[in-house]
Amino acid sequence: MAGAAVLGRLTWRAADVVGVATETPRVKTIAFDVDGWPGHLPGQHVDVRLTAEDGYQAQRSYSIASAPDGARIELTVERLDDGEVSPYLTDELRPGDEIELRGPVGGYFVWEPSRGGPLLLVAGGSGVVPLMAMVRRRAALGSDVDTRLLFSSRAWDDVIYRDELEGLNGDGLRVHHALTRSQPPGWSGYARRVDAEMLAEVGPAPSERPQIYVCGPTPFVEAVAEALVELGHEPLRIKTERFGPTGG
């Protein structure tokens, strides 16, 4: 049975685009109906494969943004202007198009409300995507697990899921923004990169033994993990996912 399950995840499946939504000027969310989708856990990702007319193929990983929801999954993709795959996903895909994907992949960077808390989620840019799946799952199940989300973006207009996060703030979830490059007038949130002092303020304290998930570009993840260890968090409770280029 276990073998069949693994083979199932490794099967490339047809994924039909059913919606495209703009999150920020550089980020879109694409919704797919996936043929035979086996379901997923918040934090898992998929491999996406594109095939050109001449047979050339390119493959990348994308976290699943949505909470488990039958055969439907959502991916949130940031366009890298010089990228090979991301501009196609953000600019070219339309409802009715089909791509291939396989998954879900990953069993380590996952969280379900049944695993309890407190929970500290630290995101840099599009690194918020798998953490959003956790936050959405928490909300869908009506969980009140103590959850802090510290989300670093360049500017207010780059904050992915901004309105939805505002709406979810409360009921044990506290959302803190850090804007590193520019801040709107009257900004009262953080206006610098994530550091140990900020992490200590956001909490929970190491003595509360939070489960910690950190996701974003490789240098961001490494700096945050280092600061967390410096504060006294147990390395084994810090789970990380790096979105950097392959091998980065």
Q: Which helix (H) or strand (E) holds 215?
A: strand 211-216
Among 44, 68, 74, 78, binds ligand FAD (CB under 6 A): 78
Task: Pick from 18, 83, 97, 156 the residue near ligand FAD by CB under 6 A.
Answer: 83
Q: Which residues contact 244 (CB under 8 A, 6 or more apart)?
A: 217, 218, 219
Q: Do residues 117 and 147 make contact, with C-beta atoms less than 8 angstroms apart? A: yes
Residue 40 neighbours by CB under 8 Å, 6+ apart: 64, 68, 73, 103, 104
Q: Nearer Cβ to ligand FAD, position 103 or 117?
A: 103
CB of residue 84 to ligand FAD, shortest distance in Å: 4
CB of 41 to ligand FAD, least distance (A): 14
Q: How far is the CB of 77 from ligand FAD (least distance, A)?
A: 4
CB-wise, 61 or 183, nearer to ligand FAD?
61
Total interface residues for ligand FAD by CB under 6 A: 21
If phi > 0 it is left, if psi is from -120 to 50 it is alpha, else beta; for residue 170 that is left
Q: By CB under 6 A, is residue 84 in contact with ligand FAD?
A: yes
Q: Establish if 81 lies at the interface with ligand FAD (CB under 6 A).
A: no
Q: How far apart are CA 244 and CA 227, in angstroms?
A: 19
Q: How far apart are CA 7 and CA 51, in angstroms?
A: 22
What is the footprint of ligand FAD within residues 6-65 (CB under 6 A)? 45, 60-63
- Among positions 29, 76, 152, 153, the unique one binding ligand FAD when judged by CB under 6 A: 76
Contact 65, 76 (CB under 8 A): yes
Applying CB under 6 A, which residues contact ligand FAD? 45, 60-63, 76-78, 80, 82-86, 126, 129, 217, 241, 243-245
